[in-house]
Chain A
């Protein structure tokens, strides 16, 4: 771990100036479950670590007129056990309860989960000067890539590690962001960025910005959601593939749907074509498998990860059928 100054922030407004304008110079600390590992492995080598836990009032789950508001420092465990979320935004509860382990969920926060860095083993190793670490090679291309991206990759092939982001995107959630000139709001659809746009980051936060709230539109009647995650191990494991689907049903006809894939692309991967395709359809096995095939149409696997295509198709169709 490189030496750094540790600063307890006292208010949201002061954080941007503490962070400064240069990426890498400072890091925000919330639950620390990702950051501490990065610090120890010299992946993150900031001069300053800005503690957000010293700011009062960033930990809440509230239902307001325009929807659900979640404070950025709300722990994953609090979300998992919230009756409100379980009743009205069950897809989020399902996704959060599939994260890591109870111990990590007790400490990890929702904003931290959305903003966590990728788990790619080349990125996480000190020995590889990969694209994301400022080098000029993505080692997964010629290396071992069984857990890497099958969609949206290039020149870097990480998969986005967050479960909660996949569920939140399926709920059309947005994030409130604090910067030096005050707050702004961004849909999650626009928040995440592909490596071809910014190789060093997974989202559009500027160096001196941080997430201050997660906003989920009010749930609609007759709407249900499901999160399906495939992992090798039943705890402490990231998704080989996952999917969040929400569907509004009238009878057995789908009037509206959202479909977001996880574990297969450098960002939570929304598939608008599939959403449109499902709209107005009676949900049958044929419809579900057609949707699943469509969801993976752009897949372009690497040497070791073509298994993910069928795996993902299978869970997409399973998720759709389960909601019908």
Chain B
């Protein structure tokens, strides 16, 4: 039972989808089986950059079992159109060219053609028979190289946008923007200590365990039904409508369970291709990626280069900061540099600040969102410089952060004012935590130990559309339909908010994530919005049901609806003992008042409410003989607003940290000189295992979000932001070596320590 006056919120009921998931009954995308189904496979470019001179599919078509082959010629060539998919903004023409290359291939792994056949093996065999004529072009796979004037150009028609204005300059730099407040030069003059550092981070992948999949059935009436694993069924529908140029009424997207997304399962890769193959064959077509394809043919997140300069006075006041941020967009414009620039210095009140962001095309897969997109790269740089400044000034690193921390009314470097947020509360909770107070015992066997801290910020998307549709059963239980993909326990948390509103228990709610025909438009699960926004709709739905129940009771009790009270879960009329009862008790007693109780609500909150702040503390042990870093203890402190289901909030923090640890220590796309990824398997792309992580401790700081009826603040993304910086700061405390490049893997750390020795 929670201590905040709520009955359901703050408790930890078993999630509705839990048993099906742990017993293997839950249906994921690849579990879909349709009558007469064919299997599709994609042919991918072996070149990082080449002109497509011709594709000869005749031999493949002649292979028995092959039913159809698709190329970009089967997709309508569409005009530029920008779409906001929740966590990523995309140009739909680029999306089309990304799912099947048109004219040029822009990265190794770029889809060129696809085959539908009666079995996966025949489809794979047919790929070998497709003859593609390429004219290889010089390629570029690093952001700084790609920004040079003489770099190979990916898009001849891409004109650089400079400070909001399109220029005539053809460049791989799609966009340069700037946020500026005050006078940074004057601010640095005012400072007693100025530190400037450069950083590089590698391309990393979200690493969701379930590969991309799509099963399309395009029937004779021209209606397309698509079954897929996605963060947003409606986002998939939008993309299909645009890429295939078909009416929205002709598309139904059925969301299957999702085995992880982390931002990477909003853009479509296979869905339009499976649809085209289904249209051509008249059969349902299923496509699934293997792990190699997920690495080379989906959307990892951006590698980046940062240069960060900060100045502070001797008494520990930050006077100025500048950040130069160049992010790799991959094959098409649209890196998360904008989000990174909006988060990078946000935990601090800095009077003079300038941030320059560059979105740069390189011959790699189109980058995509990954949990707090852009903010982790950014914080690795800024939080290292903050740590160095605090050290140089002889101030405790958390004290330094508290001293400069933001509160309500302060401005973010990109402009907006903070509402009530929990930046200071979070940092203070970290400072007074048991972990920070405990001394770090030295190692007994010559290993080096150190403690690091770092903070992070993520906006949170407190908006977007969400719909809820409910029907009440006679026993007072409720069937609740929603359009939000449940990625981290949102069926439970949204049910809990409806239950709280009505005085029910979580198990009285039967939540269903339904297809795009069955519920109102709901934006993707992303930007940490779902518990906030769909929970917002659930609360509104509960209010509507209360109102409707009062009307029905007014009929049944023959009193005025206005005179009926609803308080502490009890409907009552004055002090009449006969005219009172809970929602549950009364649901079966309103027969004859107008049919079953139902409600449908659609909401779109205004986006206010502010973001999430986190401060992490980590103890590491470095083996000086091998450069291997072990995490001894990790504590994640975060303002989580109201923790609806604390276990799932803690799970989000722990999951974010686990991914952040991988990003910090091991994960990277290792590119060969020929522009290909050498390590496209989970064996060689090293994500941490359970043995690589300690139990991650969490401290939930609850500063309720004033823009939400239950104070919900998105929690899922900010926990990935501090880990690389916190670990880098800990490595420095352990070894005296500062690491300015990610990942800090044994080969790199060992080499760096040897250089410094």
Residue ranges of A at the interface with B (Cβ–Cβ < 8 Å): 1, 3, 101, 119, 121-122, 124-125, 127, 139, 142-144, 146, 230, 232-237, 240-241, 304-307, 310-311, 314-315, 318
Chain B's closest residue to A310 (CB) is: B754
Q: Are B628 and A230 in contact (CB under 8 A)?
A: yes
Select which of A101, A143, A318 is within 8 A of B672 by beta carbon. Answer: A143
15 A/B residue pairs, CB under 8 Å, sorted by A: A101-B689, A122-B678, A127-B676, A144-B670, A144-B678, A146-B670, A232-B686, A234-B689, A240-B746, A240-B747, A307-B627, A307-B746, A307-B747, A310-B625, A315-B625
Chain A's closest residue to B624 (CB) is: A314
Q: Are A307 and B751 in contact (CB under 8 A)?
A: yes
Given contacts A142-B673, A240-B747, A307-B754, 4 further A-B contacts (CB under 8 A): A119-B683, A127-B676, A233-B691, A240-B626
Q: Are B689 and A235 in contact (CB under 8 A)?
A: yes
1/0 contact string of B731-753 vs chain A (CB within 8 Å): 00000000000000111001100
Listed from nearest, the 9 A-B pairs whose CB atoms lie closest are: A314-B625, A234-B691, A235-B689, A121-B678, A307-B750, A230-B626, A233-B686, A235-B691, A307-B747
Select which of B626, B676, B686, B747 is within 8 A of A315 by beta carbon. Answer: B626
How many angstroms between the C-alpha atoms of A277 and B46 in the bound complex? 51
Q: Are A121 and B684 in contact (CB under 8 A)?
A: yes
Q: Are A232 and B689 in contact (CB under 8 A)?
A: no
B625 to chain A, nearest CB (A): 3
Chain A positions within 8 Å of B59 at CB level: none
What number of A-B contacts does a CB cutoff of 8 Å give? 80
B125 to chain A, nearest CB (A): 9
How many angstroms between the C-alpha atoms of A143 and B670 in the bound complex? 11
Q: Are B625 and A233 in contact (CB under 8 A)?
A: no
Select which of B121, B672, B688 is within 8 A of A233 by beta carbon. Answer: B688
Chain B's closest residue to A237 (CB) is: B686
Q: Are A314 and B692 in contact (CB under 8 A)?
A: no
B433 to chain A, nearest CB (A): 26
Q: Are A314 and B670 in contact (CB under 8 A)?
A: no
A64 to chain B, nearest CB (A): 36
Chain A positions within 8 Å of B681 at CB level: 124
Q: Are B747 and A146 in contact (CB under 8 A)?
A: yes
How many angstroms between the C-alpha atoms of A316 and B46 in the bound complex? 42
B92 to chain A, nearest CB (A): 31
B19 to chain A, nearest CB (A): 23
- Interface residue B11 (Cβ < 8 Å from any Cβ of A): no
Chain B positions within 8 Å of A241 at CB level: 626
Q: Are A304 and B747 in contact (CB under 8 A)?
A: yes
Chain A positions within 8 Å of B46 at CB level: 127
1/0 contact string of B659-684 vs chain A (CB within 8 Å): 00000011000111110101101111
B589 to chain A, nearest CB (A): 55
Chain A positions within 8 Å of B692 at CB level: 233-235
Chain A positions within 8 Å of B746 at CB level: 230, 232, 240, 307, 311
Given contacts A233-B686, A237-B686, A121 and B679 within 8 Å (CB-CB): yes
Chain A positions within 8 Å of B666 at CB level: 232-233
Residue ranges of B at the interface with A (Cβ–Cβ < 8 Å): 46, 121, 625-628, 665-666, 670-674, 676, 678-679, 681-684, 686, 688-692, 745-747, 750-751, 754
Q: Are A311 and B625 in contact (CB under 8 A)?
A: yes
Chain A positions within 8 Å of B628 at CB level: 230, 232
Q: Are A139 and B672 in contact (CB under 8 A)?
A: yes
Q: Are B754 and A236 in contact (CB under 8 A)?
A: no
Select which of A119, A124, A143, A307 is within 8 A of B673 by beta carbon. Answer: A143
B117 to chain A, nearest CB (A): 15
Chain B positions within 8 Å of A122 at CB level: 678
A76 to chain B, nearest CB (A): 17
Q: Are B672 and A311 in contact (CB under 8 A)?
A: no
Chain B's closest residue to A308 (CB) is: B747
Chain A's closest residue to B44 (CB) is: A127
Chain A's closest residue to B446 (CB) is: A318
Chain A positions within 8 Å of B627 at CB level: 307, 311
How many angstroms between the C-alpha atoms of A121 and B628 in the bound complex? 22
Most A Cβ at <10 Å: residue of B678, B745, B747: B678
B31 to chain A, nearest CB (A): 21
Chain A positions within 8 Å of B691 at CB level: 233-235
Chain B positions within 8 Å of A235 at CB level: 689-692
Chain B's closest residue to A236 (CB) is: B689
How many angstroms between the C-alpha atoms of A143 and B678 in the bound complex? 9
How many angstroms between the C-alpha atoms of A235 and B754 in the bound complex? 26
B755 to chain A, nearest CB (A): 11
Chain B positions within 8 Å of A230 at CB level: 626, 628, 746
Chain B's closest residue to A41 (CB) is: B292
Chain B positions within 8 Å of A318 at CB level: 625
Chain B's closest residue to A233 (CB) is: B686
Chain B positions within 8 Å of A305 at CB level: 747
Chain A positions within 8 Å of B674 at CB level: 143
Chain B's closest residue to A241 (CB) is: B626
Chain B positions within 8 Å of A119 at CB level: 683-684
Given contacts A144-B678, A232-B746, A311 and B626 within 8 Å (CB-CB): yes
How many angstroms between the C-alpha atoms of A235 and B691 in the bound complex? 7
Q: Are B676 and A236 in contact (CB under 8 A)?
A: no
Chain B positions within 8 Å of A143 at CB level: 672-674, 678
Chain B positions within 8 Å of A234 at CB level: 689, 691-692
How many angstroms between the C-alpha atoms of A301 and B750 in the bound complex? 15
How many angstroms between the C-alpha atoms of A315 and B624 in the bound complex? 11
Chain B positions within 8 Å of A101 at CB level: 689
How many angstroms between the C-alpha atoms of A3 and B682 in the bound complex? 26
A94 to chain B, nearest CB (A): 16
Chain B positions within 8 Å of A144 at CB level: 670-673, 678
Chain A positions within 8 Å of B665 at CB level: 232
Chain A's closest residue to B674 (CB) is: A143
Q: Are A311 and B678 in contact (CB under 8 A)?
A: no
How many angstroms between the C-alpha atoms of A230 and B628 in the bound complex? 8
How many angstroms between the C-alpha atoms of A142 and B672 in the bound complex? 9
A194 to chain B, nearest CB (A): 24
Chain A positions within 8 Å of B683 at CB level: 119, 236-237
Chain A's closest residue to B124 (CB) is: A1
Chain A's closest residue to B752 (CB) is: A307
Chain A positions within 8 Å of B686 at CB level: 232-233, 237
Chain A positions within 8 Å of B751 at CB level: 306-307
How many angstroms between the C-alpha atoms of A120 and B82 in the bound complex? 42
Q: Are B678 and A314 in contact (CB under 8 A)?
A: no
Q: Are B625 and A232 in contact (CB under 8 A)?
A: no
How many angstroms between the C-alpha atoms of A143 and B746 in the bound complex? 19
Most A Cβ at <10 Å: residue of B691, B746, B751: B746
Chain A's closest residue to B628 (CB) is: A230
How many angstroms between the C-alpha atoms of A237 and B662 in the bound complex? 14
Given contacts A311-B750, A314-B626, A232 and B673 within 8 Å (CB-CB): no
Chain B positions within 8 Å of A236 at CB level: 682-683, 689
Chain B's closest residue to A304 (CB) is: B747
Most A Cβ at <10 Å: residue of B670, B672, B673, B686: B672
How many angstroms between the C-alpha atoms of A130 and B260 in the bound complex? 35
Chain B positions within 8 Å of A139 at CB level: 672
Chain A's closest residue to B757 (CB) is: A310
Q: Are A233 and B750 in contact (CB under 8 A)?
A: no
Chain B's closest residue to A120 (CB) is: B678
Chain A's closest residue to B629 (CB) is: A232
Q: Are B678 and A233 in contact (CB under 8 A)?
A: no
How many angstroms between the C-alpha atoms of A230 and B689 in the bound complex? 16
Select which of B670, B679, B750 is within 8 A of A310 by beta carbon. Answer: B750
A311 to chain B, nearest CB (A): 5
How many angstroms between the C-alpha atoms of A177 and B679 in the bound complex? 35
A107 to chain B, nearest CB (A): 16
Most A Cβ at <10 Å: residue of B683, B689, B754: B683
Most A Cβ at <10 Å: residue of B625, B681, B682: B625
B654 to chain A, nearest CB (A): 18
How many angstroms between the C-alpha atoms of A124 and B683 in the bound complex? 12
Chain B's closest residue to A311 (CB) is: B626
Chain A positions within 8 Å of B671 at CB level: 144
Chain B positions within 8 Å of A142 at CB level: 673
How many angstroms between the C-alpha atoms of A305 and B627 in the bound complex? 13
